[in-house]
């Protein structure tokens, strides 16, 4: 196991008392922890859990009073399943989520050969998609991280300032009571989302482009008259494209929770002179239902109930670096892509996995080791490479494929759909290979041979 984070090689000075949750307080009332994590979303909480499994203490700062319940990411596949297995939570996540062994595209439902359940009814990890609401995944990580005693989450703590030197990072934090405090650590991980305060304080820019369409995510209770073999499907349409998936195990004729993610047309109707709807108008119940009723199957009137809804803008953006000094970016603070195909949060989770390994190595050696700075730089370059060469092209193609032409033409002419129609397993394996072979980054291979970096133990 890696040395305890309070090892003298990485000790933060002036810490007088250590609480049972793993934080310390010095004589001036300053909170101290080896690693400061900004953002209590799934990426930040996964990072905290992986570090806690190596007895590395963290303080997680979250500006909100609780985990965000709004509809966000839902799909987890590929090597993310391996991460779930390594932290001992795969069985729970797989049991709570809905398994999808393949996807379908309306107009011509097609098996994409992700996988099929075995004789025991179970899928092979990594070869199917687990559909589970992001907020529930965050809850699972939070529960397991805090019970280790090495993770402390401070709610309603908003970062307002940041400074660093060659030994430590200090952040100023505004609290819910209107006060201000300082928290110090040896390293800081920014997992605070697309509008990352930490990224802005570090002067790191995002570059790329924004899509013109808005995307409406809704969680809907409904009774499905028929549950298809491929429960996750994409709607191919030049105007009303979208993604539909159950959020739990559903049965025909019984009420269940579904996610309907819908494109919002630029114009609310066919009149080219009509003004685009404001965000507030899009979220009006009547307009939300008008979009849903284009997608929901079954008898009319529909008995669906909208439980939650959220409106998003879509982007393809990448930070110029994911490392500066003793600070790191992970997840949406570093890169943003459109949600079609479930590549955004999965990439963020794999960032958290790579960063946890990077910091584990750092706490296993002397802080003056000359190999640390190249390792930190490598974290940034490798994860940015993944976004530029795998995630950006895959996610962009996924989106454009849904609305780039008339549905019948897309099915007949798009290279991906024609490959699916051929059904050659070797061809399909080669197409999806980057999501298995290059998506996850093993930081150990960039560290000098002979260094003892052992696997963390599942809680």
The CATH number that applies at residue 367 is 3.50.50.60
Indicate which CATH number applies to the domain containing 264: 3.30.70
Residue 16 and residue 124: Cα distance in Å, rounded? 49
Residues 224 and 188 placed together within one structural domain of the fold? no
Stretch among 19-23, 58-62, 295-299, 439-443 having the lowest mean pLDDT: 19-23
Residue 379 and residue 151: Cα distance in Å, rounded? 23
In a domain, 96, yes or no: no
Stretch among 271-275, 289-293, 399-403 having the lowest mean pLDDT: 271-275
Residue 283 and residue 290: Cα distance in Å, rounded? 11
Give burial (CB, 10 Å; 0-12/13-18/19+) of 17: exposed
Residues 201 and 303 placed together within one structural domain of the fold? no
Residues 6+ apart with CB under 8 A from 381: none
Residues 369 and 290 placed together within one structural domain of the fold? no
Residues 190 and 240 placed together within one structural domain of the fold? no
In a domain, 76, yes or no: no
Residues 292 and 335 placed together within one structural domain of the fold? no
- pTM of the prediction? 0.89
Of 146, 76, 245, 120, the closest CA to residue 459 belongs to: 146
Task: Determine what percent of the chain is predicted with pLDDT higher than 70.
Answer: 86
Give me the domain span that covers residue 53.
Answer: 8-70+134-207+317-446
CA atoms within a 13 Å half-sphere pointing along the CA-CB vector of 368: 2
Mean pLDDT of 282-293: 94
Scan for tokens 């996540």, then name that residue: 93
- Tens of pLDDT along 91-113? 999 999 888 766 777 642 234 44
Residues 311 and 409 placed together within one structural domain of the fold? no
* Domain count of the fold of the chain: 2
Dump strand ranges (E) for 265-419.
305-319, 323-324, 327-329, 335-336
Confidence of residue 251 (pLDDT cuts 50, 70, 90): confident
- Cα 37 from chain centroid? 15
- Cα 158 from chain centroid? 21
Residues 186 and 53 placed together within one structural domain of the fold? yes
């Amino acid at each position: 196991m890696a040395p305890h984070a309070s090892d003298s090689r990485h000790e933060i000075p002036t810490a007088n008392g250590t609480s049972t949750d793993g934080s310390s307080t010095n004589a001036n009332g300053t909170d101290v922890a080896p690693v400061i994590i900004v953002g209590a979303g799934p990426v930040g909480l996964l990072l905290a859990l992986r570090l806690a499994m190596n007895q590395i203490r963290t303080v997680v700062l979250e500006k909100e009073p609780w985990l965000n319940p709004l509809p966000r990411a839902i799909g987890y596949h590929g090597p993310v399943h391996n991460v779930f297995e390594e932290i001992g939570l795969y069985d729970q996540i797989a049991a709570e989520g809905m398994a999808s062994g393949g996807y379908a595209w309306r107009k011509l439902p097609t098996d994409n050969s992700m996988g099929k359940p075995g004789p025991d009814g179970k899928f092979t990890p990594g070869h199917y998609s687990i559909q589970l609401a992001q907020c529930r995944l965050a809850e699972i990580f939070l529960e397991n991280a805090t019970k280790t005693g090495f993770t402390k989450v401070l709610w309603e703590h908003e970062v307002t300032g940041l400074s660093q030197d060659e030994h430590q990072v200090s952040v100023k934090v505004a609290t819910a009571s209107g006060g201000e405090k300082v928290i110090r650590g040896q390293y800081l991980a920014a997992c605070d989302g697309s509008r990352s305060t930490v990224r802005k304080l570090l002067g790191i820019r995002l570059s790329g482009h924004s899509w013109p369409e808005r995307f409406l995510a809704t969680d809907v209770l409904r009774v499905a008259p028929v549950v298809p073999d491929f429960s996750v499907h994409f709607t191919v349409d030049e105007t009303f494209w979208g993604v539909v998936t159950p959020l739990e195990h559903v049965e025909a004729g019984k009420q269940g929770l579904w996610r309907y993610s819908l494109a919002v047309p630029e114009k609310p109707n066919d009149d080219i002179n009509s003004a685009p709807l404001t965000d507030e108008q899009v979220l009006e119940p009547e307009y939300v239902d008008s979009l849903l009723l284009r997608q929901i199957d079954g008898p009319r009137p529909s008995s669906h109930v909208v439980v939650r809804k959220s409106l998003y803008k879509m982007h393809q953006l990448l930070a110029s670096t994911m490392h500066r000094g003793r600070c790191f970016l992970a997840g949406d603070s570093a890169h943003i892509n459109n949600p079609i195909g479930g590549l955004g949060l999965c990439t963020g989770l794999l960032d958290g996995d790579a960063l946890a390994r990077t910091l584990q190595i750092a706490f296993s050696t002397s802080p003056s080791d000359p190999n640390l700075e190249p390792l930190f730089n490598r974290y940034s370059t490798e994860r940015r490479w993944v976004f530029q060469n795998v995630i950006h092209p895959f996610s962009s193609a996924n989106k454009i494929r849904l609305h780039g032409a008339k549905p019948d033409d897309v099915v007949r002419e798009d290279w991906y759909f024609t490959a699916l129609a051929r059904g050659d397993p070797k061809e399909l394996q080669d197409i999806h290979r980057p999501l298995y072979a290059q998506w996850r980054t093993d930081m150990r291979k960039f560290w000098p041979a002979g260094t003892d970096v052992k696997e963390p133990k599942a809680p």
